[in-house]
Copies of this chain bind each other. A is one copy, B any other.
Amino acid sequence: MNTHSVDLSVTIGKLELPYPTFMGSGCYGSGEEFAPFVDLSRIGAVVLKSVTRLPRLGNPTPRLVHTPAGMLNAIGLQNPGIDWYLDHDVKKFAERPCAVVGSVAGFSVDDYAYTVERLAARDEIKAIELNISCPNVAHEGETFACDPRLTANVVRAARATTDKTLIVKLSPNVTDIAGIAREAEAAGADALAVINTVRGMAIDVETWRPRLGNVTGGLSGPAIRPIAVLAVYEVARAVKIPIVGQGGIETVTDALEFFLAGASAVSIGTGNFTDPRIPVRIVDELAEYLARRNCASLRQIVGKANVGFANPYQFEGDEG
């Protein structure tokens, strides 16, 4: 098997991508910001910063804190609102040498439907990610993605407005992510993005104040990778639609964990802050890995984590 003949392409709903790499929403601007550092034609898709119906100034500063093997953020969806966005920003996205996926956030079912409909109508936007899991604008951390019924409602409403690929982004801050995933699938999602950030907090022990202006924030980066791999593994066993796995991916090994757990594609967010060359390095090394393992296509390894070994030894209480 030769590196060049390995097929890395993926199909996510109607979206056909040459590479299985998304750039995480909110981490990659509109792609342009990273163009000096990376060949954008060698990434799968950029997911844009989430946009809302009305303009949002976002959260007060500080909005970022470094934490062990990760970071907390609480941007608060700063964005110009869908009107300005459609008039000023969207046309530039046509220039990107990779697919551009819109991301929509909102505060009511109506918000989502309205914003998705208007954004999806634009040719520059190839697919829509429904961010129902942003922990930084939520009341006590409760988002749409924390409730199966709300998830179903918002996905159904968005689905009704567009035929374009709809990716629903799930929250790890729930008791049963697989249950929420099933609701999203039943309501018409074409794919799932798993996971958004994990809720967290840090306190400055000199000032006694939270280290984020918003008090709480979302944890990302390698620290959350084991949490994300498990979420993908559980969701993959619950649904049939493809999964875009994310959370702390920085190397090809990290990405492979997600593919084996059941992700059809991966997304890199915080990893771009460490080194913008990471996405292309992952694609190169993925081809090498698959060639070495004699896999002609990435699709062959998706979900192939082998969990079929039983406990050879037991005591009475082990059955408990």
Whether A229 and B202, one on each chain, are in contact in the complex, defined by CB atoms closer than 8 angstroms, is yes
Whether A313 and B260, one on each chain, are in contact in the complex, defined by CB atoms closer than 8 angstroms, is no
Surface stretch bound by B, among A13-21, A28-36, A57-65 = A57-65
Q: Is A239 positioned at the interface, with any CB of B under 8 Å from its CB?
A: no
Q: Select one of B68, B176, B213, B301 contacting A69, CB under 8 A.
A: B68
| A312 cross-chain contacts in B, Cβ below 8 A | 60
- The smallest beta-carbon distance between A319 and chain B, in angstroms, is 9
| A55 cross-chain contacts in B, Cβ below 8 A | 315-317
| A76 cross-chain contacts in B, Cβ below 8 A | 318
Residues of A278-320 at the interface with B, using a CB-CB cut-off of 8 Å, are 289, 301, 304-307, 309, 311-318, 320
| A53 cross-chain contacts in B, Cβ below 8 A | 317, 320
Could you give, for residues 236-264 of chain A, a 1 whenever the CB lies within 8 Å of some chain B CB and a 0 otherwise?
00000000000010000100110011000
| A304 cross-chain contacts in B, Cβ below 8 A | 208
| A257 cross-chain contacts in B, Cβ below 8 A | 202-203, 205
| A227 cross-chain contacts in B, Cβ below 8 A | 198-200, 219
On whether A320 and B107 interact (CB within 8 A), knowing A205-B256, A305-B210, the answer reads yes
| A58 cross-chain contacts in B, Cβ below 8 A | 318
Q: Select one of B111, B173, B230, B309 contacting A200, CB under 8 A.
A: B230
Residues of A172-230 at the interface with B, using a CB-CB cut-off of 8 Å, are 173-176, 178, 198-203, 205, 207-210, 213, 215-217, 219, 221-227, 229-230
Whether B315 and A54, one on each chain, are in contact in the complex, defined by CB atoms closer than 8 angstroms, is yes
Whether B320 and A54, one on each chain, are in contact in the complex, defined by CB atoms closer than 8 angstroms, is yes
Select from chain B the residue with minimum beta-carbon distance to A232: B201
Interface centre among A68, A70, A213, A226 (most CB of B within 10 A): A226
8 closest A-B pairs by beta carbon, nearest first, are A200-B226, A54-B317, A68-B222, A107-B320, A69-B69, A223-B223, A68-B69, A201-B230
Can you name 24 A-B pairs with beta carbons within 8 Å? A52-B320, A54-B315, A54-B316, A57-B315, A59-B311, A68-B70, A69-B70, A70-B223, A70-B226, A107-B320, A142-B176, A146-B175, A173-B175, A201-B226, A201-B261, A203-B260, A205-B253, A208-B305, A209-B309, A213-B309, A215-B307, A216-B233, A219-B226, A223-B223
